[in-house]
Structure 1
Amino acid sequence: MSHQVTIDGTTIQTGRLRLRPWRADDAVAALSIYGEADVARWLAPAMGRIDEPGQMRSIVERWGAEHDVDTGRPTGRWAIDDLADGELIGSGQILGLPPEGEDLELGYQFAPSAWGRGLGSEAGHALAHYAFSHDEEEVFAVVRPGNDHGIRTAREIGMEWVGETTKYYDLKLQVFRLRRGDLDVPNP
């Protein structure tokens, strides 16, 4: 699946989505994602369910500040807005996977109201473009067995299944990889 991707600094845009740094005023909308049990169950132990607005505000403030830190790699967390109405409907990440942070993980979560529209694969594709345009050669998605939506989304992005491991997060996970050559991304 191919999506048009535009990158302007730390903002990434597709035909339907804008991925941008988090702001403190995103906290209430973020609760519609991270406060949902059906979302949070796939994130533990890395992150549990958040149901307190003050806690969510602290988290999104920290995520927003991370965009100001140069790690030397294209890592970060983005709020995802629906371009049709400007509503915050999701979250996307490129983060170093434990234990060493060498492998980069693509992650994305959406409010249940946004499910079923192919937005996860569109966001994942955009994040991969961002990573590859910053000289990364490959990215990974790790998915718990039984998370059929996560597995399907990784495949829709064009990721290939490379196996199962307990290397990351000390959990049994399905590992998917996408290489730079798998997408039409010009060299930086």
Structure 2
Amino acid sequence: MRLVVGVSGGSGIPYALSVLRALHGLGVETHLIVSSGAKRVMSAEGGPQLSDLTALASVTHEDRDLAASVASGSFRTDGMLVVPCSAGTLAKVAHGFADNLLSRAAHVTLKERRRLVLVVREDPLPRPMLENMLKVFDAGATVMTASPGFYHSPGSVEELLHFVTARVLDQFGLDVPGFRRWGEAP
């Protein structure tokens, strides 16, 4: 399997790291795109850094490289996910504004009718953002929120991240080891 993983400027880079760790562990080929906004968030939040993400990716693309392989529909992938997906990236995808590689790759994913999952992490949700969520949904994307469940009695932040990671990767038919589903025995 080959997936494009976009990381945009919304707070929540630990979600991206968790997803990349899981994909790496599952042997999935990943093409990572980190936006300039995400790089600023990494610096401000002091959590996972760019080197932590790139160490887990199969290939890393510069966000300004609109000639990268993932910018073309002829480059086959099994889909794309953006985690976290900022309000700005959501708006670009909703309106087909492909001014960087991340938004171009998302555009290509939609035009090729491949699975696109956008994991938003922002509250409260203003009307323009809700409208953009509906636009991308209508275009074929799946919109998810980075909202972990609690029925599995998480004991750490890592377990909360693992929950969201597992639910996101469910969208691609991938099973994350150690994820307990509702109704399953511990």
Alignment TM-score, normalising by the size of structure 2? 0.31
> Greater RCO between the two (CA within 8 Å, min separation 6)?
2
Give 1 or 2: higher helix fraction: 2
Give 1 or 2: higher strand fraction: 1
